[in-house]
């Protein structure tokens, strides 16, 4: 998706605005008070809502769950103080990941394609978390006092416009706000990246990974793209040099050996992404078959073949391919979700329901399993049960627009018109369309006019969204 290139390149430039490494204040130092943590939080959420509304994302619950759990694992041992993280999984096969002010973590689907091990994947995200923990955004503003927060907010708005295909208008907005500072950004970027590398390596080791994964990732990417005129966004925003590789290699070698380099779960998620970006399920199946021919014990390739066959409606063969995996690990969530998908697609709904129930007894709070149950209930036309299950899921995923979108659909099917408008309002607010959100609550209030308490709650929520809209526009307008 070429439209993402201006977004991710410029965003990373925005975030890579550090003070000199020797001058970095300690966290909480007054010198970084130009932008408070709360301002960063608000700005990040405003930016995220617009990105969600205008840039294509991957809505696969298993991938979302993996990214969230893996980043939280890294955050637990990091220096990130505010762990109110939000995630966006972008639908692009290009390699990239980024951290935006206020705890926004962005991951391209392409990161799974390029990071061949979990350690390499984790090294990229540990690096991005270091940008957050060191508050490089705020310190960059301190280093360039002439660039105030509204200017940077306007720059974010231009980035989103370019990402959404606004073309020259978006690029012009970026250029007009960026021109005065671009040289300073470039001058300081090396120190910023070095610090993120150093802190990322420490965090990798604390989280149980082998820090050598970071230089390995850099080395392979440099070999692959050494002579390319236009390398992927990740290398444009994180320039890799021989000296940077040598520095991270030397630092990594100082840690004891024995950390995690890879995991089967990562390879299973990687297979899902590989299938997503193949032209057809048949082409994906052919590639997974070739991997199995080379290594018959490669479980990730067997899993990839199974889900490719399910997607291609070759159910009998998919069942045969999947069976050895379930025999080996009968309680594995990923394998059981594949079998649930297979049984549901083949209209073996009782078998699918039985498996969902058994797995939820083992893992009651697992997001992908709960989502699979909801999908199955909808296929069975058990609308009230699906609505209740979605309401339960909302308690844990109140900021997930995918969930709110489905809540609106199901409330419509159940005849809950007021709830439908309320759910649509929450969805539109999360994707940055406040006008639609406020209008949906107008519809809900009219329907609830005979219920004073409900109408009052809807009115209060509408006032909250009006205020959010005002603040967001103020920040992004500058």
Q: In terms of residues, how long is the chain?
A: 478
Please, what is the average pLDDT of the chain?
Answer: 83
pLDDT band at 46 (very low <50, low <70, confident <90, very high): confident
State the pLDDT at residue 159.
46
3-state secondary structure 37-53: HHHHHHHHHHHHHHHHH
Sequence ranges of the binding site = 127, 131, 193
Question: What is the pLDDT averaged over residues 280-305?
Answer: 97
Under the banding of pLDDT at 50, 70 and 90, the label for residue 188 is very low
Cα distance between residue 271 and residue 284, in whole Å:
9
pTM: 0.85
Mean pLDDT of 444-457: 96
Q: Are 425 and 444 in contact (CB under 8 A)?
A: yes
Average pLDDT for residues 52-66, to the nearest whole number? 93
Segment 118-140 mean pLDDT:
80
Residues 357 and 396: their CA atoms lie apart, in Å, by 20
Helix-strand-coil split of the chain, %, nearest 5: 70, 5, 25
So what's the pLDDT on residue 23? 35
pLDDT band at 145 (very low <50, low <70, confident <90, very high): low
Question: Does residue 128 have an active-site annotation?
Answer: yes
Mean pLDDT for 407-418 is 97
Query: Residue 274: pLDDT above 90?
Result: yes
Please identify which of the residues 40, 60, 68, 128 carries the catalytic annotation.
128
Report pLDDT for 384. Answer: 97
From the list 120, 142, 197, 233, the catalytic residue is 197
Cα–Cα nearest to 325, from 349, 351, 305: 305
Q: Which residues are annotated as a binding site for Zn(2+)?
A: 127, 131, 193
Say whether 58 sits in a helix, a strand or coil. coil
């Amino acid at each position: 998706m070429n439209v993402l290139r201006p977004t991710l390149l410029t965003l990373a430039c925005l975030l890579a605005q550090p003070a000199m490494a020797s001058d970095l204040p300690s966290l909480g130092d007054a010198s970084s008070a130009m932008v408070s943590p709360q301002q960063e939080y608000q700005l990040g959420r405003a930016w995220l809502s617009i990105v969600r509304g205008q840039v294509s994302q991957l809505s696969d619950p298993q991938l979302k769950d993996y990214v969230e759990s893996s980043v939280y694992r890294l955050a637990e041992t990091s220096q990130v103080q505010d762990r109110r993280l939000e995630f966006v999984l972008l639908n692009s096969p290009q390699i990239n990941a980024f951290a935006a002010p206020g705890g926004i973590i962005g991951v391209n689907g392409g990161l799974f394609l390029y990071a061949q091990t979990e350690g390499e994947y984790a090294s990229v995200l540990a690096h991005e978390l270091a940008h957050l923990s060191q508050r490089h955004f705020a310190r960059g503003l301190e280093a360039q006092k002439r660039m105030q927060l509204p200017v940077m907010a306007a720059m974010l708005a231009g980035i989103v416009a370019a990402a959404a295909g606004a073309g020259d208008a978006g690029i012009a907005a970026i250029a007009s706000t960026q021109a005065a500072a671009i040289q300073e950004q470039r001058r300081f970027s090396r120190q910023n990246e070095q610090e993120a590398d150093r802190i990322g390596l420490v965090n990798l080791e604390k989280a149980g990974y082998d820090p050598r994964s970071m230089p390995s990732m850099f080395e392979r990417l440099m070999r692959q793209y050494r002579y390319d005129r236009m390398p992927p966004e990740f290398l444009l925003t994180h320039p890799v040099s021989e000296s940077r590789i040598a520095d991270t290699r030397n630092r990594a070698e100082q840690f004891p050996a024995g950390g995690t380099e890879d995991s089967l779960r990562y390879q299973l998620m990687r297979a899902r992404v590989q299938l997503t970006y193949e032209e057809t399920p048949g082409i994906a199946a052919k590639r997974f078959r070739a991997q199995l021919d080379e290594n018959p014990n490669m479980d990730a390739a067997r899993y990839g073949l199974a889900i490719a066959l399910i997607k291609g409606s070759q159910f009998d063969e998919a069942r045969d391919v999947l069976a050895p995996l379930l025999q080996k690990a009968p309680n594995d969530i990923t394998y059981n979700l594949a079998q649930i998908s297979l049984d549901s697609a083949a209209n073996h709904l009782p078998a699918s329901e039985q498996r969902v129930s058994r797995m939820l007894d083992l893992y009651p709070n697992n997001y992908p399993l709960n989502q699979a149950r909801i999908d199955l209930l909808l296929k069975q036309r058990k609308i009230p049960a699906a609505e209740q299950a979605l309401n339960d899921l909302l308690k844990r995923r109140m900021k997930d627009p995918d969930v709110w979108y489905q809540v609106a659909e199901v409330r419509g099917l159940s005849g809950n018109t007021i709830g439908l408008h309320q759910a649509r309002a929450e969805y539109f607010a999360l994707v940055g369309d406040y006008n639609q959100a406020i209008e949906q609550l107008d519809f809900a209030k009219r329907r609830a006019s005979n219920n004073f308490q409900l109408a009052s709650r809807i009115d209060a929520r509408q006032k909250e969204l009006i205020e959010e809209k005002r603040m967001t526009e103020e920040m992004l307008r500058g």
